Amino acid sequence: MQQRRTIDQIHTNRVLLNGQLDTPKWWAPTVIVLGIIVAIGFFLIGIMVNKGLGVTGLSRPVYWGLFITTFVFWVGISHAGIMISAILRLSQAEWRRPVTRAAELLTVFSLLTALLFPLMHAGRPWRIIYFILPYDFARGIMPNVRSPLIWDPVAISTYLTGSTLFLYIALLPDLGNLRDRTTGWQNALYTILALGWRGNPRQWKLQTVGGILLSALMLPIFVSVHSIVSWDFAVTPAVEGWHSTIFAPYFVIGAVHSGVSAVVTMMALMRWLWKWEDFIRPEHFDALARLLIVVATGWLAFTFLELLFAVYGLDAPELELRDMQIFQWPWNLLFVTFLFTGYIIPVGMWLQKSVRNNIALMFWSSLFVNIGMWLERFMIIVPGLARKTPFVYTWEAYRPSGLEWFILFWSLAWVTFLMLLFSRFFPLVPLFEQKESQTFGDSIKIGRVRVPAIVREAD
Amino acid sequence: MASEAVHSGAHSGVHAEAHEEAHHELPARVEPDVTTSELIATTEANATGVRNWMWILGALTLVGIVVAFVKVLIEWSDQDEWGYTAAMVAFLFSAFGGAPLVAIAGTLAKGNWVRPIARFAALCSLVSIICTIWMIPLILNLPMLVVDGARRRSIWFEGPDVSPHIWALVAMITLIISALGLIYAYAIPDFAAMRDHSTGWKQRFGAWLARGWIGTTVQWRTMRMRIGMMGTLYFFTFVFVHFIISTDFAMSLVPGWRDAIFPMYHAISSIQAGLAVTVIGLWAARKYLGLEKYLHLDQFWSIGRLMFAFTLLWGYFFISAFIVFWYGRSGSDQMWIDYLILGPYFWVFILAMLFIWFTPWWWLIWNRVRRSYNGTAIGAGLILLGVFLDRVRLYVAAWTVPEDRIHERFLTEYPSTVYPDVMDIFIMVGALAGSILLILAATRVLPILSIWDVQQFNLLYRPVEYMKTKVSLIGKPD
Amino acid sequence: MTLQREKRQYSWGMVVDVDKCTGCQACVLACQAENNVPLNLQDRFERARAMSWIRVERYWEGEFPDIKARFIPIMCQHCENAPCEPVCPVFATYHNNEGLNVQVYNRCVGTRYCANGCPYIVRFFNYWEPVWPEAFRNHLNPDVTVRSRGIMEKCSFCIQRIRRGVRNAERENRNVVDGEIQTACTQACPTDALVFGNFNDEDSKVSKMRKDDRHYTLLPHLATDPNVVYLAKIDPDRSAGASHG
C-alpha cells in the first residue's frame, strides 16, 4: 500500500505550481463555458425571486422539494474537508496529504453554494436579509432561537468561517512559495496574502499549532452542522418518516460518505487535468476506498435502522408512507437506484483491489455514490411531505419544474467554476504537505526485509 | 539494525513543535527472548495473591448462582423482579464485550501501540459466557410476542411467537463461539511459546493447541487472515447482540418507546465501557504483575484519547435522541422524557450522565491526565460506574412495565421506582465476580500480554534521533 | 410537559359538531369572502396550491353497498402546544394570550417550515401574487390584509371580528357576551355545526358543548392540545363512538 517514492523538491515545485505559473490550455475555455452556465443560473434565480415561487413545482403539502434536497446534498459534500484534513490529521493517516487542500476547498465552496439554496427558496428572500442585516434590535423582535432554521445559519457560517481559516492557514507556506516565483501584480498579491511568510521555525510552529487547534475545534462543528440540518426534519412529528432519533448521526455519516466520494472524484480529475500522476497515486485512491467501504457500511447500518424503526411502531400512516417509498411507482425505481448507486455497486467494486487502484473506475464509482446520496435526501424529504398525515384530502405528488432541475445542475457548474478559478491562483495540492510526507516516510530493515516506516513524534 | 537517519531538508512545523514540548522517555526496546521468558513467567507471577483473589471471587460467584436459583424458585414469574439482572447482563456485555473491539480495530488499522494490549482486550470477550448464563432466566421471563391475543410491538413483526427468545439465544451462542475463536486466533503463536518454554501440563496443553506452529511465512499469513476473519465475525456479532439486547430486552417492553438510535447508543456506550475495562485491566496488570517494561504511557495515552472521544460521542448520541423527543412533544415523545429521564429513575439518570459523560469529559480533556496511568484509570472507573447506572435506568425501567400495558400506544401511568433487594445485589455481585474470575483464570494460562504481539511491537518500533529531538520510527508492513 | 394554560380573560375556541355537518361548504365560501382568500381557479387546483382556510374533508366509511359519506370541517386548530410556532425563525407565528395562534404577515419570510410542522395541513403559501378580476376589487374586506406572494396564511378565527367585538365591549365597559362574536364560518353554517366562543367563560355555549361525551380532538397522540374540539358523529347503525382522529 505504501509505495515509497522519492520526489525531489524542485520537481515538486515545478509540477504542483503548473496551475499558476504555467496555466494549462484547456483552462480558459472551460472557465468561460462554465461562466456562461453560471450567469444563466443567476438569471433564472433572479426570475424566480421576481415572479415568486410559483415557477417551481412545489405545492401543498410538498412545501420543500428539490432546493432543500440540494441544500442538504451540498452541506453533505462539505463534510469532506474536515473529515480528510482534521480527522485524518488527528489520527495521523499519512495518505491524506495530497488531498487535504482540495477537500477543504470543496468544503468552503459547497458550503457557500448550500447557503444560497435556503435563501433563494424562501418566499421573500429580501426579507431574510433585512431581518439579519442589520440585526433587528429596533423592534425588539429577535430571531426565534428555538427554530432549527436559526441554528442552521449559525452552524453553517461557523463551519464556513472555520474552514476558510483552516484553508488559509494551510495555504500560507505555499503562498510564500508562489510569492518568490512571481513578478508584477501577482507578486504583489501573494506578498499581501502570504503575511510575511518566511518559513522560520517559529512560523512553522504557529502554523502547525493553528492547524491542530483548528482541527480539534472544527470537529464538534463538523458533527453539529449536519446534525442540525437533520434536525430541520427530525424535530417535526407532523411529518411521518421525519421524526426519527437516528437522523443526526445518520445524516453525518451519509455526509461523510458522499463528501469523501466527491473528493475521490476530484482527485481523479486533478490527476488527469493537471497531470499530477506523481503526486496523486493509486495508493491514495486505495486508502480512500478502504475508508469508504467502512463509512458506507456504517451508513448502510444506519439506513437499515432508520427503516426498521420506522416500521417498528406499526402505525398505519407510517406503513403507508414506507409502502409508497419502497414499492410504489415511481418511488420504487428511485429507491432501487438509490440502493444500488449509493451502496451495492460502488462498495461491490471497491472490495476488489484492482478497482481500488484503477483511477477511471474509482472516478465512476464515486460519481455513483453521489447520485445515490442525492436520491437518499430526496427520498427522505419529499415522500414524507407528500403523504404527510391521515388527511387523505391533502396527499399530493411532486414534480419538480424545469427551472428547479436547471438550478440543481447550475449548482454543480457553480462549484466547479469556483474551484477552477481558485486553481488559477492557488495550488490545489499543498506543496509543503507533499514535502513533509517525503520527510516523514522512511523504512526500517527487519531481518532481510525492508518495511516502510513512518516517523512519529515521541508519543 | 540501526535505522537510517531521517532525511533532513524541508522544514516541518511538526518537528519545530517537537523542540519545545518536554517529552516522556521513549519506551526502551526489549529483546525477543527476554519478552518470551518474562511474559511466560507472568502466568505464575504473584501466585498466592492471585490464588486468594480467585478463591474470593469464586465464592462470590457461587453465592450469586445459589441466590439466583432461590430467586428463580420464589420469584419466577414476576417480570419486574428481573430488572436488575437484566441491567447487570447488559452492563457486563457492554463493558467486557466492547473491549475486544479495541484490539480488532487497532489491528485492522495497523496501529502499533495497540499490540501489547490486544490479548487482554480479546480475553475480555470470555465474559460472554457469564452473560449467556444470566440471560437464561431473562429469556424465559421475556413476554411472548403475542400477549393477550394481540401482537406486541417488536422487531420481529410477524415472526413466530418465540422469535425474541430464540434469537437472543442464537446471538449469545454465536457470541461465545466468535469470542473463543477470536482469542484462539490471536493466541496460536503464544501456545507455541508455551509449548517451547514451559513445563508440565501447560507444555502439553500448549503443544496441543499450537497445532504445529513453527512460524513459517504461510502460517503467519494464515494467522493474520484468521484474525481478520474472526475479528470481523466478532464485530458483527457484537453489533447484532447489542441490537437484540437493546430492542428485545429494553425498548420493546415499554409501549411507545420508538427510538431508532437506541441500538447505536447502546453500542457506543459499550465501546466506551470496553475501553475503560481495558484501561483498568492493564492498570492492574501493570501494577500487580510487574509489566512496567511492556505497558507504557503510550498505550494509556492512546486509549485515554479514544475514551475521551467516545465520552463525547455518548453525549452526541444521547442528545440526538433527546432533542428529537424534547422538541417533538407528541404523546410518546413526552413519555420517553417523563418516564426514562424525569421518571422514577431520575437520580440514577443524573448520576449516570455525570459519570458516563460530564465528569470523564472534564477529566480526560486534560492531556496531563491522559498521560498518567492513574489519571486514565480513574477516568475509566468513572465511565464504568456511569455505564452501569445508565443500564440500571434503562433496563429496570423497562422490566417494571406491567405486561398488561404492553399494547398501549404509549405509557400514560408510570410504574414507581423499584429498588434492588438483597438477592439482586448478590446476583449482581456474583455475575461481576464471575466475569473477573474468568479473565483472571485465563491469564493463569495465557500471558496477559500476547508474546508475539509484544515482540512485533518491538520489531517495528525504533527510537531515533532527529535533529535535536527524539522521534520514533514505526514500521507499517503490508 | 403540557403547557399550563394561564388564566386569561378570553380563550377563544370552536366546537364542531360533526353530527350536524352536512358538507354543504357554506363555511368555505363565507371564509373565502370574509378573509380575502384568493380565488382558486382551475390552475391552482391542478398545481395543488388551492387555498381555503377551512376545508370540508369528505371520506368514506364502510364498504359498498354499506357505505357512508362522512364530512369533517378542518381549519387551523389553534393548538395550545402548536408545532408550527417554535419552528418559525422570525416569530411570524406565535401564540397570543387569547388562545389564538396568530400569523404576522409582515414578519413572514416564507420558509414554509411552519406548514411542514403542522399536522393538520391548514397553512397555505402564496406561490403567486394574488390577483382578483377587476369586478372583484371592490369586494375585498377592508378589515383584512391582502397578502402578498411569498408568505404563509391560515385561519385566524376571523381575528378582525374578535377585535371589533372586544373593542365594542370595552367601550361599553363590559365583557363580551357569549354569541356576540361570530366567525364567518359559524355565522354561515346553516345547521349550527360550528360554534365559536370563549372557553374561559364557564357558561358559554362552547364550554358546555365541550363537556359532551362525544368530544374529541384531531390527532390527539401528537399532544398539540387544540382549541378546536369536535363532537363525534352519532351513528344509529353502529355503536356510538368517535370515528375520526
Contact B155 A438 (CB under 8 A): no
Contact C1 B337 (CB under 8 A): yes
CB B420 within 8 A of CB B166: no
Min Cα distance C222 → chain A (Å) is 7
Q: What is the DSSP string of A375-413?
A: HHHHHHHHHHHHT-SS-GGG-------HHHHHHHHHHHH
**Chain B contact set for A444 (CB, 8 A):** 3, 460, 462, 473, 475
Q: Are C31 and C51 in contact (CB under 8 A)?
A: no
- Given a cut of 70, is residue A265 above it in pLDDT? yes
The answer to whether B339 faces chain C, any CB pair under 8 Å, is: no
CA distances from B112 to A93, A182, A429, A456, B109 (A): 13, 45, 29, 11, 9
- Does the beta-carbon distance from A123 to C110 stay under 8 Å? yes
In order, the DSSP letters of A112-179 are: HHHHHHHHHHSS-HHHHHHHHTTT-TTTT----TTSHHHHHHHHHHHHHHHHHHHHHHHHHHHHHHHH
Which residue of B10, B11, B260 is in closest CB contact with A244? B260
pLDDT digits (tens, 9 = 90+) for C124-156: 999 999 888 888 878 899 999 999 999 999 999
User: pLDDT at residue C235 above 80?
Assistant: no
Which chains have 3+ CB pairs within 8 A of A? B, C
Closest to C19 in 3D by CA, of C220, C213, C226: C213
CB atoms within 10 A of CB A351: 12
| Interface of chain C toward chain A, CB-CB under 8 angstroms | 47-50, 55, 57-59, 74, 83, 86-91, 107-113, 115-121, 124-129, 149-152, 219, 222
* Chain A positions in Cβ-Cβ contact with residue B300 (cut-off 8 Å): none
**Residue C60: strand, helix, or coil:** strand
Q: Which residue has the cell 480479546?
A: B122
> Which chain B residues have a beta carbon less than 8 Å from that of A306?
260
Q: How far is B369 from chain C (nearest CA, A)?
A: 41
Q: Which three cell numbers stand for residue A340?
A: 444500488
Sort out which chain C residues have CB atoms less than 8 A from A232's CB and list them: 113
Is the Cβ of C81 closer than 8 Å to some Cβ of chain B? yes
Q: Which residue has the higher pLDDT, C71 or A1?
A: C71
CA-closest candidate to residue A12, choices A173, A235, A246: A173
pTM: 0.92
In A281-310, the residues whose Cβ lies within 8 Å of chain B are: 301-302, 305-306, 308-310
Q: Find the residue in C nearest to A399 (Cα).
A: C47
Instruction: Please list the rounded mean pLDDT of every run of 10 residues in chain B (478 residues).
Output: 38 41 62 84 80 93 91 78 92 94 84 88 93 90 88 88 92 94 92 87 88 89 91 94 94 92 95 95 88 86 92 95 94 93 94 95 92 93 96 94 89 91 93 94 90 88 81 81
Contacts with C222 from chain B: Cβ below 8 Å: 330-331
A contacts of B411 (beta carbons < 8 Å): none
**Contact between chains at A245 and B301 (C-beta distance less than 8 A):** no
Q: Give me chain C's average pLDDT, please.
A: 88
Q: Are C81 and C217 in contact (CB under 8 A)?
A: no
CB-closest option in B10, B316, B470 to A435:
B10
- Paired residues of C70 in beta bridges: C59
Q: How far apart are CA B248 and CA B242, in angstroms?
A: 10
How confident is the model over C102-132, as pLDDT tens digits? 999 988 999 999 999 999 999 999 999 988 8
Please state, in angstroms and as integers, the Cα–Cα distance from residue A179 to each residue in A156, A176, A184, A191, following that order.
32, 5, 10, 6
Instruction: List Cα–Cα distances, B354 to B361, B362, B384, B386, B396, in angstroms.
Output: 9, 10, 12, 7, 19
With CA atoms as reference, report the closest residue to A230 among B320, C20, C83: B320
- Whether C89 has its CB under 8 Å from any CB of chain B: the answer is no
From chain C, the residues in CB contact with B324 under 8 A are: none
**Of A209, A248, A309, Cβ closest to residue B17:** A209
Pick from C89, C125, C219: CB nearest A144: C89
- A454–chain B Cβ distance below 8 A for any pair: yes
Instruction: State pLDDT tens for residues A116-158.
Output: 999 999 999 888 876 666 566 666 677 888 999 989 988 999 9
pLDDT band at C7; cut points 50, 70, 90: low
Of the candidates C49, C31, C29, which has an alpha carbon nearest to the alpha carbon of residue C41? C49
**C-beta of residue C56 within 8 angstroms of C-beta of residue C71:** yes
Cβ–Cβ < 8 Å for B129, B441:
no
List the single best residue of A50, A56, A63 to mutate versus C (max C Cβ within 10 A).
Answer: A63
Minimal CA separation from A11 to chain B, in Å:
14
pLDDT for A354:
94
Partners of A444 in the β-ladder? A451
Q: ipTM, 2 decimals?
A: 0.92
Closest chain C residue to B326 measured between Cα atoms? C1
Nine-digit cell string for A264: 475521490
pLDDT at B9: 37
Using an 8 Å CB-CB cutoff, list chain B residues near A459: 23, 298, 301, 472
Total Cβ atoms within 10 A of residue C76: 25
The percent of residues above 70 in pLDDT, for chain C, comes to 93
The rounded distance, in Å, linking the Cα atoms of B203 and B361 is: 46
Inter-chain CB proximity A247 and B320 less than 8 Å: yes
Q: Which CATH class is domain A9-454?
A: mainly alpha
CB contacts, 8 Å: B333 with chain C: 223
SS3 percent helix, strand, coil of chain C, rounded to 5, is 25, 20, 60
pLDDT at res. A134: 56
How far is the C-alpha of B365 from the C-alpha of C244, rounded, in Å?
A: 55
- Chain B and chain C share a number of CB contacts under 8 A equal to 21
Q: Three cell numbers at B138?
A: 431473562
Q: Are A369 and A342 in contact (CB under 8 A)?
A: yes
Q: Which of C48, C111, C117 sits opposite A122 (nearest CB)?
A: C111
Q: In the prediction, which pLDDT does B25 show?
A: 61
Which residue shows C-alpha cell 476488489? A352
Distance in angstroms (rounded) separating the CA atoms of residues B341 and C152: 37
CB pairs below 8 Å between A and C: how many?
132
Query: What CATH number does domain C12-231 carry, 3.30.70.20, 3.40.250.10, 3.90.950.10, 3.40.190.10?
Result: 3.30.70.20
What pLDDT does residue B13 have?
40
Q: Give residue limits of the domains in chain A.
A: 9-454
B157 contacts A2? CB cut-off 8 A: no
Convert A94-123 to b/e letters by CB count within 10 Å (16 or more is b): bbbbbbbbbbbbbbbbbbbbbbbbbbbbbb
The shortest C-alpha distance from B323 to chain C (Å) reads: 13
Whether B209 and B188 have beta carbons less than 8 Å apart is answered as yes
Per-residue pLDDT, A137: 65
Are the CB atoms for A382 and A398 separated by under 8 Å?
yes
Q: Per this entry, what is the length of chain A?
A: 459
| Contact in structure between B69 and B421 (CB atoms under 8 Å) | no
Cα–Cα distance between B110 and B103 in angstroms, integer?
10
Strand partners, C15: C195, C229
The 10s digit of each residue's pLDDT in A27-81 is: 999 999 999 999 999 999 999 999 999 999 999 889 999 999 999 999 999 998 7
Q: What is the Cα–Cα distance from C179 to C160, expressed in whole angstroms? A: 16
Nearest chain C residue to B338 by CA distance is: C1
Count of H helices and E strands in chain C? Answer: 7, 10
The answer to whether the Cβ–Cβ distance between A457 and B14 falls below 8 Å is yes
Read off the C-alpha cell for A25: 490550455
d(CA A215, CA A225): 15
**Residue A37 CB coordination number (10 Å):** 17
Instruction: Give dist(CA A425, CA A422) in Å, integer.
Output: 6
Residue A364 C-alpha from the chain's centroid? 17
**Which of these, C34, C54, C189, lies nearest to C122 by C-alpha position?**
C54
pLDDT score of B19: 41
- Least CB-CB distance to A59: which of C47, C117, C152? C47
The answer, yes or no, to whether residue A362 has pLDDT greater than 60, is yes
Contact indicator for B431, B89 with CB cutoff of 8 Å: yes
Please, are residues B54 and B440 in contact by the beta-carbon 8 Å criterion? yes
- List, as one string, the DSSP characters of C65-105: TEEEEEEEEE-----TT-THHHH-TT-SEEE-TTS-EEE-T
B410 contacts in C (CB within 8 Å)?
Answer: 221
Distance CA A261, CA A365 (A): 8
Q: Do the Cβ atoms of B64 and B430 come closer than 8 Å?
A: yes
What does the alpha-carbon distance between residue C52 and residue C40 come to, in Å, rounded to a whole number?
Answer: 8
Of C91, C109, C116, the CB nearest to A123: C109
Helix (H, G, I), strand (E, B) or coil at B335: helix
Bond prior to A330 in cis (omega within 30° of 0) = yes
Is the Cβ pair C1, B338 closer than 8 Å? Answer: yes
- Give me the mean pLDDT over the C85-105 stretch: 91
Distance CA C91, CA C152 (A): 12
b/e per residue C212-238 (b: at least 16 CB within 10 A):
eebebbbbebbbbbbbbbbbbbeeeee
Cβ pair A238:C119 closer than 8 A = yes
Cβ of residue B258 closer than 8 Å to a chain C Cβ: no
Query: Could you tell me if B331 lies within 8 Å of chain C, comparing CB atoms?
Result: yes
Cα–Cα distance list, C106 to A60, A123, A134, C109, C149 (Å): 22, 12, 17, 8, 12
How far is it, in rounded angstroms, from Cα B54 to Cα B65? 16
User: What is the spatial distance between Cα A108 and Cα A166, in angstroms, rounded to a whole number?
Assistant: 10
pLDDT attached to residue A131: 66
- Quote the cell numbers at residue A232: 430541520
Q: Which residue in A1, A312, A432 is closest to B153 by CB distance?
A: A312
d(CA C85, CA B461): 61
Strand partners, C59: C70
> Cβ contact (<8 Å) for C127 and A58?
yes
- Given a contact cutoff of 8 angstroms between Cβ atoms, the answer to whether A103 and A81 are in contact is yes
* Alpha carbons B99 and B105: distance in angstroms, whole number: 10
* Residue of B323, B330, B333 to mutate, testing the C interface (most C Cβ within 10 Å of its Cβ): B330
A36 touches chain B (CB under 8 A): no
Name the residue ranges covered by the structural domains of chain B: 28-295+416-474
